[in-house]
Copies of this chain bind each other. A is one copy, B any other.
Amino acid sequence: MAIDENFVVRTDLALEAQEMNVEADPAQTGPDGVDVTEEQLDDIKVTYVKVDPEGAERIGKKAGNYVTIESQAIRKQDTKMQDELSTCLSKQLKKLLADNGIKDSDRCLIVGLGNHRVTPDAIGPFAIDEVLVTSHLFELQPETVAEGYRNVSAVTPGVMGITGIETSDMIHGIIHEINPDFVIAIDALASRSINRLNATIQLSDTGIHPGSGVGNKRKEISKETYGMPVFSIGVPTVVDAVTITSDSIDYVLKHFGREWREKDRPSNALSPALNPFEKRKELTEEDLPSEEQGQAVMGMFAKLGDEEKRQLIKEVLTPLGHNLMVTPKEVDSFVEDMAHLISAGINGALHAVIEDSDAQSYTKF
């Protein structure tokens, strides 16, 4: 859970951590240990964040590679876009595995983290129901396994409230018994932005860390813990009231900033706010108002940095019991679709025989 108790604002996404860092110290942007590159493929945006040990300390994310894939495919419930997103996930995961030296013959354990009875936390368990497993065939009827399939097994360890066992301990016991060569962990995340809910998939080769995920999965699930590469696939499905408020205040400020800037231009006659039918607009950092203007609109809030603003709102809401974790009303179909898409992407990445574009038909359901 990104929202920890001691008032340090965290995020599960390296991309957001880097943004927060840049924001806090704008002069520093650049190659100081965090390398960011982007690609746009039609409706999908892929961002590669490479964090070296120095950068790790700066942004509070473990050193390693993070790939963020952004698409509105799930939120728009657009089947064709979802197929494309799944194919993209498959390619990116395949590349990340290769970059980490994973060979076709290496055996994989997929772990579906989260609680299958709490829908926004169920992406992991739902995906496990659909991934292709072959480990038992390799063991019991190796002659039936066609060329091009990898040895794959999969587990849903459950959450501590239902099992009474630390998730990382349970995984440790299973790994000890079956000895895979690498692990892929799927998890639901908390987001620091309402815009990223069900619209972002983060891959990494750094595992899963304390405080990550929707539920409370405390101990690290990583190379350090298990002695083998641990990849993670995470999707933000929940956000807290602090984030929603902070984002919204930010938008209000930028909105006024842009309004004032556009006041002098001829197009002013048709203010965006008055025309709800135009294409969805986007506001950027450049739209922020001057300090004086900002203060008129939002008082001291206009002067606060993002972190300070969130900190302050949190200090107010938390004692009131008002800082709920929420999820979009359409959570049932969002989570089901996302789990399906992720399992198809994993199947395509793991088995050489599955063409990316054909991965959908290999899911079990």
Contacts and interface: CB of A to CB of B under 8 A. Distances in A.
Interface of A: 5, 79, 116-121, 128-129, 133-137, 139, 152-158, 160-166, 169-170, 172-178, 194-195, 197, 214, 238-239, 241-242, 244-245, 247-249, 251-252, 255, 272-273, 276, 278, 280-283, 294-302, 312-313, 315-322, 324-333, 361, 364-365
Given A163-B153, A163-B155, A328 B324 contact: yes
Nearest to A314: B273
14 contacts: A118-B333, A119-B119, A129-B162, A135-B165, A137-B164, A139-B166, A155-B170, A241-B248, A244-B248, A251-B317, A255-B316, A273-B319, A324-B328, A327-B331
A134 to B, nearest CB: 6
Contacts of A165: 135-136, 153, 155, 174, 178
B251 A248 contact: no
Contacts of A301: 297-299
Contacts of A327: 326-329, 331
A333 B245 CA distance: 26
B313 A252 contact: yes
A282 B317 CA distance: 10
Given A155-B163, A155-B170, A251 B318 contact: no
Given A135-B163, A273-B319, 20 more contacts: A5-B276, A118-B333, A119-B119, A119-B331, A121-B329, A136-B165, A155-B163, A165-B174, A173-B175, A194-B241, A195-B322, A241-B248, A244-B326, A248-B317, A251-B322, A255-B315, A278-B319, A295-B299, A298-B299, A299-B299
Given A248-B322, A319-B272, A152 B177 contact: no
Nearest to A155: B163
A79 B155 CA distance: 25
Most buried by B among A157, A283, A316, A325: A316
Contacts of A166: 136, 139
Given A117-B129, A241-B194, A283-B320, A325 B328 contact: yes
A156 B170 CA distance: 11
Most buried by B among A156, A255, A324: A324
4 interchain residue pairs of minimum CB distance: A173-B177, A133-B164, A135-B164, A153-B164
A365 to B, nearest CB: 8
B331 A276 contact: no
Contacts of A157: 155
A224 to B, nearest CB: 17
A241 B238 contact: no
Given A194-B322, A245-B245, A160 B173 contact: no
Contacts of A170: 155, 174, 177-178
A249 to B, nearest CB: 7
A97 to B, nearest CB: 18
A166 B135 CA distance: 9
Most buried by B among A155, A176, A364: A155
A328 B239 CA distance: 10
Given A173-B178, A313-B248, A320-B281, A329 B329 contact: no
B160 A136 contact: yes
Nearest to A256: B316
B118 A329 contact: yes
